Structure 1
């Protein structure tokens, strides 16, 4: 079996390794150049390609369409997308002789779109996972090929959960590869009406709104904790990044639960939510100003 793979991030590295382990011939990898303005804390698909002597290219979104003749000539059985960040044009999807398949970091149809792990934590979910699905022009909309669920602990950050989702992605690939190498693609409907779609997140979306509940504040902090840009609040004229919080208490009796916002008691820092519940701030630091 021959494949062309679009890949980035830990999920890209881990799923590529799984394909290689199964003996799939990878004729080309399409990946991204790392963004110098991004905190790159994850594995490098480009480095894996160099180590394994796999040809790779790093086009920008506008250049993808130029790959059509090259990929048509390769005539891959499968086209895979593992955490690749650009929409792949329909003309490229059509190059796959059997199917074009994408790995998405949620239990579809929930959390279609961007940043699925962050959104799941933000919404207080207790589980998420990885889904391999047939690629269509509409994002994350094609039939489901395989899924693997993971639990989200009450204090786990997006990075913690991403590690689990990366492993779940490999589990899904390993589950379905025996059928894929036989040319069979297991399918079940992806019922979009039962799910949800979310867009990308910007650093400014990390602002803590103290009128929200303490639980919502805690979930925001977990969802965007470093190495993501972090939840933030202003205190004594400084912008502070809130990196870790706890709802577990016990909380000092001196806290004024009627007033949302930051309070300091005995050198401990707390936030009061709009539901008159407290969250302890275990780690915060001054934001870097650009």
Structure 2
């Protein structure tokens, strides 16, 4: 089939590479300009560079809603559009242009975790698996019929970086497998159960600020979800920003006020956590590695030279 690819960053790059390695003919690529957004500078393999290396025409757009792009798409005569990590709305006259429509590839197990940063949100929420879904695009974002879906388990110590590498390796088999179904004339795809749908926004600074009213289990997952190269989860100590690079759930249960710097346990320093910490039924967050405001990384036991005082959400 003649394919036009819409995509950006490493997800789009992997999709384009899979298409180039397949029996399908990539006739045009549409991608975004480079961005300075913190999350868009991560996993930023260039779709444009890969297309150029293979002599595929490239169009750069923030939004795909202009008449010039529409005319170029008509001239390209695609049988299908394949999209992955396209960051803005694709209008119906675009996604409905090819005779087979548009296949969107999304890094979650739809219908859950539509939208942005699905792996990070899924890890924070304690999901047991993550994955990649190829579905037909319709008027509702990430809501069309599922053509192919594959999952991988979330391990007890997996970080968002680990899960990125696990799921990005699914892009090629899911994309090409879905195209093979479409090319074979199949149309009996799986409608999404919209009662199970959830939609998430982009990550931002406020989303990585630690709230000590969260349980230790939730905070431990937040720290893993904000693994390098993502911006680290942070709190404040004595008015200075402190990034939490590694932590575990404490073995003991600790009572008191959320955020209290309380006790050395093993290789960590336990911080009281949970909105109901006063009951004494909660585990704490045992911080093991931190990074200070001036960029110095150290063991928490070296940073917290004495117990007492509080970690807070604001300066």
| Alpha-carbon displacement from aligned partner over 1:151-174 (angstroms, at most 9, x marks no partner) | 111221212111111112222123
Which of 139, 152, 155 is residue 153 of structure 1 equivalent to?
155
What's the counterpart of residue 206 of structure 1? 208
Please say if residues 235 and 262 of structure 1, whose CA atoms lie closer than 8 Å, have aligned partners that are also in contact.
Answer: no
Shift of 1:268: 4.1
CA 118–238 in structure 1, closer or farther in 2 if over 3 Å, else same? same
3-state SS of paired residue (1:61): coil
Aligned to 1:13: 13
Partner deviation per Cα, 1:192-230 (whole Å, 9 max, x = no partner)? 112222222211111111111100111122222332222
Quick check: 1:271–1:279 contact (8 Å CA) kept in 2?
A: yes
Larger radius of gyration, structure 1 or 2? 2
Tell me the residue number matched to 1:80.
Answer: 82
* Residue 272 of structure 1: aligned partner: 272
- SS for the counterpart of 1:261 is coil
TM-score with structure 1 length normalisation? 0.90
Alpha carbons 2:134, 2:178 under 8 Å: kept? no
Distance 1:211 1:188, change over 3 A: same
Structure 1 residue 286: Cα displacement? 2.6
- Which whole-Å CA distance do the structure 2 matches of 1:151 and 1:76 have between them? 36
Aligned partner of 2:287 among 270, 281, 287: 281
**Pair 1:287–1:37, CA change in 2 (3 A):** farther
- C-alpha separation in 2, matches of 1:278 and 1:149: 31
Please list the CA deviations of residues 24-74 of structure 1 after superposition, one character each: whole Å capped at 9, or x if unmatched. Answer: 111111112221343334422122112212111221227555411110221
1:78, 1:100 within 8 Å by CA — same for their partners in 2? yes
- Aligned partner of residue 92 in structure 1, secondary structure: helix
Match of 1:257 in 2: 255
Cα distance in 2 for residues equivalent to 1:70 and 1:96: 13
Report the more deviating stretch, 224-233 or 22-31.
224-233
Q: Residues 241-261 of structure 1, C-alpha deviation per residue, up to 9 Å, x if partnerless?
A: 2122222x556xxx9532321
The alpha carbon displacement at 1:284 in A equals: 1.8
User: Which one of the candidate residues 47, 50, 58 is aligned to 2:49?
Assistant: 47
Which residue in the other structure is 2:126 paired with? 124
- Quick check: 1:206–1:230 contact (8 Å CA) kept in 2? yes
1:95 maps onto 2:97 in alignment: yes
Alignment-derived partner of residue 187 in structure 1: 189
Alpha-carbon contact 2:64-2:91 (below 8 Å) kept: no
User: Structure 1 residue 168 and structure 2 residue 170: aligned?
Assistant: yes
Who is 1:25 aligned against? 25
2:170 aligned counterpart, secondary structure: helix
Instruction: Identify the residue that residue 34 of structure 1 maps to in structure 2.
Output: 34
Please, what is the CA RMSD of the aligned residues? Answer: 2.3
Structure 2, unaligned runs of 5 or more: 296-315
Is the alpha carbon distance of 1:65 and 1:88 closer, same or farther for their aligned partners in structure 2, counting shifts above 3 Å? farther
Give the deviation of 1:185 after TM superposition: 4.3
Within 1, Cα distance between the matches of 2:109 and 2:30?
A: 25
Cα distance change, pair 6–231 in 1 and its aligned pair in 2 (3 A): same
- Structure 2 distance, partners of 1:286, 1:32, is 35
Unpaired stretches in structure 1, ≥5 consecutive residues: none
Distance in 1, Cα, partners of 2:220 & 2:67: 43
